[in-house]
């Protein structure tokens, strides 16, 4: 039986519920995701073997014995090798020391496949920290997980690759929601990723790179864009680096499940030890880079193993690593020999930005999630009075050098590398409360816009959720129309029509998926309600026929008990129906807003004064006059006017307030008199 995406999601999240709280912090996501992938590999191996045997039986027009099937099964061709003793059946047959058995099987699979090195990073036999010798995850919990996963076949015969890929992404999103602030280490909200990918528009032949790839979402969405355009995912090549081994493993699995064949390196810092280099040691260059790097990393210049709590060691390393020219970079990204100053030690943002720039080929383009501080931090060179006077009585002047970040930003602008800056709503990222923006770089910009920068203020429009904010499809549409029109009003109608059609389809699909997901989640409650209602009807029919008083009392109690159980199940179904109704209301609101947004964009580009409140193409000369400060409110009117109030309404409100004050004073006077404090 083929599983739907929603059934698979429910099944996988059920496994997470078994393990939650049994591991350190949020580590349980790595256990569940790796176990799911291992089960998929094993099931697909068996499926490939069955298909090969069936084909041989068809060709030879005879049925094989079990012994013959075993021979074909062992020597058949498989996408991934699963050594004997490392198959799912071997794990399922074990009864004791399941953690050791599972870890040994997973590592055996990784060792047999170069592509899977580094995928299985968890140790199911890890001892508990209390020194008891017992495993951190008890044998019975591992057994429950194995039995849970054994309930469904995860091969292509039951779960097509695209369904499993979508379910895997859903699971990552659920883990991110569960992890809260820590999720920023491995997960970028899909709406932000989708925005970046659609701005950059990956093409067949692109080499696509993410230097801090986390769970691989940037790469996966790039492949999705290519598929949407009718190309195969492997028409581009994919590369990623991730310092955290566990997150890199999630990214590798994500890549395999989506058929990307991405090359993901792990365990070292992109800044101190970039993994992708040419034979001569220079950085490898790519045609497209997407990234969401760690914001304002204070110790970007240290290797992971050097980032200890020992301040003296850090200070000593800082003297060794930073010279008069700043960070001594062996890869020519900044410092001596480049037009760029080395970034300051305290903020790593420009270290990542300059690494990305150095990783772009001559026609390369990049989309980067940044803190908005990169737009304005750092002061230009200034002359200031010291408060002292020379022999002629003239005030002495001291010249203060420009800060490094100012110089880097100025060089980026004067080199024509910054194509656009898009400010985002607050709180759209997990654990990052600082204002963020999208920085778009392009080494091969159209001549007409090389001395211009598009600035988009997209912080007004979002959906407010309980823990964070979310870009809606129509909010993404606004950004894309501004970006792709680049100030040209003539392009807007076609862009609105193109994006409106796609986004309405996206909203419809999300609504369908959400409703199906809720129906699957509440399927057990629905079945329970149907069973209880049938039982209740039967008991009530029996009750009407009972004559004896004692028996009637017992039967009545049984009916009341069933009725209570039925009411609880009915309440769960009412809860489901309300959630479904809310999902439909939200989708209907979004569909209506898509049309309204399209009309709004058309009107904006017909009214230049109103457009200035949302987006503006700014010349480099004006940016220079602003000392190369890119803070968007300097160029775009982000002021939110107070709501208009009629004078008569204001006067009425004032009179009402004065009346309320007089009443309160009178009541206070009465109370004081009552207790003997008469004036």
Torsion sign, CA atoms 33, 34, 39, 44: positive
Pick 452 or 128 by higher pLDDT. 452
Which among 106, 141, 99, 100 is positioned nearest to 121, based on CA atoms? 106
Pick 308 or 266 by higher pLDDT. 266
Torsion sign, CA atoms 146, 19, 245, 248: positive
Compute the radius of gyration of the chain from its Cα atoms.
32
The residue out of 445, 464, 487 marking a domain boundary is: 487
Predicted pLDDT of residue 559:
82
Pick 1 or 417 by higher pLDDT. 417
Predicted pLDDT of residue 24:
59
Phi/psi for 130 (5° steps) reads -85, 0
- Checking if the pLDDT of 75 tops 80, the result is no
92 neighbors 150 (Cβ within 8 angstroms):
yes
| pLDDT confidence bin for 508, thresholds 50/70/90 | very high
Predicted pLDDT of residue 362:
96
Can you list the alpha helix ranges (DSSP code H) found in 244-339?
Answer: 245-257, 311-321
Residue 499 lies in a domain: no
The residue out of 159, 184, 208 marking a domain boundary is: 159
Query: Cα angle at 495 between 493 and 496, to 5 degrees?
Result: 65
Residue 504 lies in a domain: no
Predicted pLDDT of residue 26:
57
Q: Which secondary-structure segment (H or E) carries 405? A: helix 404-414
| pLDDT confidence bin for 309, thresholds 50/70/90 | confident
The residue out of 472, 487, 502 marking a domain boundary is: 487
- Checking if the pLDDT of 202 tops 70, the result is yes
Do 136 and 253 have their domain in common? no
- Checking if the pLDDT of 375 tops 90, the result is yes
The number of residues making up the chain comes to 679
Phi/psi for 36 (5° steps) reads -60, -45
Do 482 and 549 have their domain in common? no
Biggest distance spanned by C-alpha atoms of the chain: 122
Do 434 and 527 have their domain in common? no
Characterize the bridge pairing of strands 263-266 and 237-242. Answer: parallel
Can you list the alpha helix ranges (DSSP code H) found in 522-619?
Answer: 523-545, 549-604, 608-611
Do 352 and 413 have their domain in common? yes
Do 148 and 177 have their domain in common? no
- Checking if the pLDDT of 678 tops 90, the result is no
Residue 165 lies in a domain: no
Q: What is the pLDDT of residues 52-72, one digit of tens each?
A: 888 888 888 888 888 888 777
Domain with residue 110: its CATH number is: 1.20.1260.30
pTM attached to this predicted model: 0.87
Structure tokens at 113: 């496949």
Report, as an integer, the average pLDDT of 331-339: 83
Residue 564 lies in a domain: yes
Q: If you average pLDDT over every residue of the chain, what do you get?
A: 89
Domain with residue 451: its CATH number is: 3.40.50.150
41 neighbors 112 (Cβ within 8 angstroms):
no
Characterize the bridge pairing of strands 452-457 and 436-442. Answer: unpaired
Do 21 and 63 have their domain in common? yes
Residue 401 lies in a domain: no
Q: What is the pLDDT of residues 91-134, one digit of tens each?
A: 999 988 999 999 999 999 999 999 999 899 899 998 888 888 88
- Checking if the pLDDT of 677 tops 80, the result is no
Do 549 and 429 have their domain in common? no
The residue assigned the tokens 């709180």 is: 427
137 neighbors 124 (Cβ within 8 angstroms):
yes
DSSP state of 237: E
Predicted pLDDT of residue 640:
61
Residue 182 lies in a domain: yes
Do 145 and 206 have their domain in common? no
Report, as an integer, the average pLDDT of 195-222: 97
- Checking if the pLDDT of 456 tops 60, the result is yes
- Look at the chain and report how many structural domains it folds into: 4
Q: Which secondary-structure segment (H or E) carries 400? A: strand 395-400
Pick 670 or 549 by higher pLDDT. 670
Share of the chain above pLDDT 70, in %: 97
- Checking if the pLDDT of 328 tops 60, the result is yes
184 neighbors 23 (Cβ within 8 angstroms):
no
Residue 512 lies in a domain: no
Predicted pLDDT of residue 676:
77
Structure tokens at 59: 């060709």
Q: What is the pLDDT of residues 603-648, one digit of tens each?
A: 999 999 999 999 999 999 999 999 999 999 999 988 765 566 677 7
Averaging pLDDT over each range in 244-253, 462-471, 665-674, which range is the top one? 244-253
Do 116 and 212 have their domain in common? no
Residue 475 lies in a domain: yes
Pick 331 or 72 by higher pLDDT. 331
Do 590 and 563 have their domain in common? yes
Which among 13, 79, 52, 17 is positioned nearest to 257, based on CA atoms? 79
Do 567 and 598 have their domain in common? yes
Do 55 and 129 have their domain in common? yes
327 neighbors 298 (Cβ within 8 angstroms):
no
Domain boundaries, position 440? 170-389+406-487
| pLDDT confidence bin for 497, thresholds 50/70/90 | very high
CA-to-CA dists, residue 68 to 57, 84, 295, angstroms: 11, 17, 59
């Amino acid at each position: 039986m083929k599983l739907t995406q929603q059934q698979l999601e429910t099944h996988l999240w059920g496994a997470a519920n078994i393990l939650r709280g049994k591991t350190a912090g949020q580590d349980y996501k790595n256990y569940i995701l790796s176990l799911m992938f291992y089960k998929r590999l094993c099931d697909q191996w068996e499926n490939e073997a069955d298909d090969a045997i069936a084909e041989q039986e068809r060709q030879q027009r005879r049925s094989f014995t079990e012994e013959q099937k075993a021979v074909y099964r062992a020597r058949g061709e498989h996408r991934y090798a699963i050594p004997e003793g490392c198959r799912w059946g071997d794990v399922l047959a074990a009864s004791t020391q399941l953690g050791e058995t599972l870890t040994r099987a997973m590592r055996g699979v990784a060792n047999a496949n170069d592509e899977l090195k580094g995928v299985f990073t968890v140790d199911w036999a890890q001892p508990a920290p209390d020194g008891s010798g017992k495993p951190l995850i008890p044998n019975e919990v591992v057994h429950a997980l194995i039995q849970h996963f054994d309930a469904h076949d995860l091969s292509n015969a039951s779960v097509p690759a695209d369904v499993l890929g979508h379910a895997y992404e859903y699971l990552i999103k659920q883990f991110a929601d569960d992890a809260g602030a820590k999720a920023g280490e491995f997960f970028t909200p899909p709406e932000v990723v989708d925005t970046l990918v659609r701005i950059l528009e990956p093409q067949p032949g692109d080499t696509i790179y993410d230097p801090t790839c986390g769970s691989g979402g940037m790469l996966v969405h790039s492949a999705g864009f290519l598929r949407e355009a009718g190309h195969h995912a492997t028409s581009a090549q994919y590369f990623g680096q991730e310092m955290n081994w566990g997150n890199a493993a999630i990214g590798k699995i994500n890549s395999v499940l989506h058929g990307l064949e991405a090359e993901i390196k792990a365990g070292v810092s992109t800044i101190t030890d970039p993994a992708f280099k040419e034979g001569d040691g220079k950085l490898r260059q790519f045609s497209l880079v997407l990234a969401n790097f760690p914001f304002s990393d204070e110790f970007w210049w240290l290797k992971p193993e050097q980032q200890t709590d020992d301040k003296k060691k850090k200070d000593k390393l800082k003297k060794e690593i930073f010279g008069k020219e700043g960070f001594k970079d062996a890869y020519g990204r900044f410092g001596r020999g480049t037009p760029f100053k080395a970034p300051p030690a305290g903020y790593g943002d420009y270290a990542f930005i300059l690494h990305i720039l150095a990783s772009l080929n001559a026609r390369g383009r990049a989309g980067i999630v940044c803190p908005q501080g990169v737009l304005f931090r750092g002061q230009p060179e200034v002359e200031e009075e010291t408060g002292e006077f020379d022999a002629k009585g003239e005030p002495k002047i001291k010249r203060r050098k420009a800060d490094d970040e100012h110089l880097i930003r100025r060089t980026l602008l004067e080199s024509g590398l910054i194509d656009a800056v898009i400010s985002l709503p607050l709180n759209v990222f997990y654990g990052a409360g600082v204002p963020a923006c999208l920085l778009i770089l392009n080494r091969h910009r159209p001549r007409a816009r090389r001395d211009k920068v598009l600035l988009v203020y997209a912080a007004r429009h979002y959906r407010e959720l309980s823990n964070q904010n979310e870009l809606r499809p129509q909010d993404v549409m606004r950004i894309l129309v501004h970006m792709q029109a680049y100030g040209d009003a003539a392009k807007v109608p076609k862009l609105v029509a193109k994006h409106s059609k796609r986004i309405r389809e996206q909203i419809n699909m999300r609504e369908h998926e959400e409703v199906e997901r809720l129906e699957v989640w509440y399927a057990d409650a629905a079945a329970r309600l149907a069973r209880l209602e049938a039982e209740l009807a039967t008991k009530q029919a029996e009750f009407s026929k009972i004559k004896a008083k004692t028996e009637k009392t017992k039967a009545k109690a049984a009916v009341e008990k069933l009725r209570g159980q039925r009411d609880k199940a009915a309440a769960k179904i009412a809860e489901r129906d309300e959630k479904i109704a809310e999902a439909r209301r939200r989708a209907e609101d979004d569909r209506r807003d898509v049309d309204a947004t399209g009309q709004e964009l058309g009107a904006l580009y017909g009214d230049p004064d109103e457009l200035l409140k949302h987006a503006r193409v700014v010349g480099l000369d004006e940016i220079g006059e602003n000392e190369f400060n890119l803070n968007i409110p300097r160029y775009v009117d982000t002021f939110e006017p107070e709501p208009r109030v009629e004078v008569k309404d204001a006067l009425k409100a004032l009179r009402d307030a004065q009346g309320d004050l007089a009443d309160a004073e009178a009541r206070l006077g009465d109370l004081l008199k009552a207790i003997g404090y008469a004036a």
